[in-house]
Amino acid sequence: MLKQRITTALILLPLVLALILLPPTVYFAAVIALVFVGAAWEWSLLAGCRTAVGRGIVVAGAAALLLAVLLIATPGLLTVLTLVGVAWWIGCCFWLRHFTFAAAPNAENRLLKIGTGVLVIVPTFAAAMALHGSDRGHWWTLLSLMIVWAADTGAYFSGRQFGRRKLAPRISPGKTWAGVYGAVLGGALVAVLGGWMLGVSDAAHLIGLGVLGVLTVAIAVVGDLFESLMKRHAEVKDSGNLFPGHGGLLDRLDSVFAALPIFVAGKMLLGL
């Protein structure tokens, strides 16, 4: 499985780099809007939609919302939506403490989870647009993803080597506290190093980036756990099977959906 995951990642990496670094923000946003619409299709299944018509309605609604954000895209709107995402992921921590909340497969919980999908997808889309469109935004966008990738790598190896105490065994039995510590360390180091390479030279801002890296990784873990919780509720192993060894779009983007609004809001707060 590890070999398959690495092979898939190596194939996807050049495409992701080209998408981030080459096009102007409007084309970048158009492509990720399509990707996020695909994620909405997978989310509809986790939310409890079992018919093609129901899932199609969810996808159409997601596409309409993302198109509206893309067409309006004022700085104020993007900032507000980014902050909504920050508030959502902080509040999500309380949901994770109550495993059975909204677990029953009824209409009320289905609507709640569909609405939650809006809070997962739309603020991240706005944050990505704001970040990519900022000064040196292509590189800052890449750095934000590299923090998540470094966290995933650090979590895998530290968890495998030192993992004993489980993080959330009812939600994701494979995750350990040692994995979280490795993720935080990897993400913070990449945040500081990446910021320095992007011209951030004063100590205060570098320390701030280190703290932001820690917070970004911490919320990325929340995003990962929340998708795992939704999969537990839906009784599925993966959100999809698009990527061999990786699952679906949500399985690859769960951490990013949570991390990006936090990173963008923190970067704004630091004045970078």
In tens, the pLDDT along 131-172 reads 999 999 999 999 999 999 999 889 888 988 887 899 988 888
244 has pLDDT over 70: no
pTM of the model: 0.93
Position 99 scores a pLDDT of 86
Contact 92, 226 (CB under 8 A): yes
Position 226 scores a pLDDT of 94
Position 246 scores a pLDDT of 59
Structure tokens at 123: 């603020």
Which residue range is the domain that position 23 belongs to? 2-270
Closest C-alpha among 148, 72, 81, 74 to residue 119: 81
174 has pLDDT over 90: no
CA triplet 38, 251, 125: central angle to 5 degrees? 50
Count of domains in the chain? 1
Contact 216, 187 (CB under 8 A): yes
Burial group, residue 270, by CB count within 10 angstroms (0-12, 13-18, 19+): middle
Structure tokens at 113: 């989870």
Q: How far apart are the first and last CA of the chain?
A: 39
The average pLDDT across 69-94 equals 96
Position 101 scores a pLDDT of 92
Helices 137-162 and 2-21: angle between axes, nearest 10 degrees: 170
DSSP code of residue 73? -
Structure tokens at 158: 């530290």
Position 170 scores a pLDDT of 86
Position 242 scores a pLDDT of 66
CA triplet 3, 250, 52: central angle to 5 degrees? 120
The beta-strand segments (E) located in 93-209 are: 166-168, 172-176
Mean pLDDT (the chain, rounded)? 91
| Non-local CB neighbours of 136 within 8 Å, separated by 6+ positions | 198, 199
Largest CA-CA distance found in the chain, in angstroms, rounded: 55
Rounded Cα distance between 8 and 4, Å, is: 6
Position 243 scores a pLDDT of 60
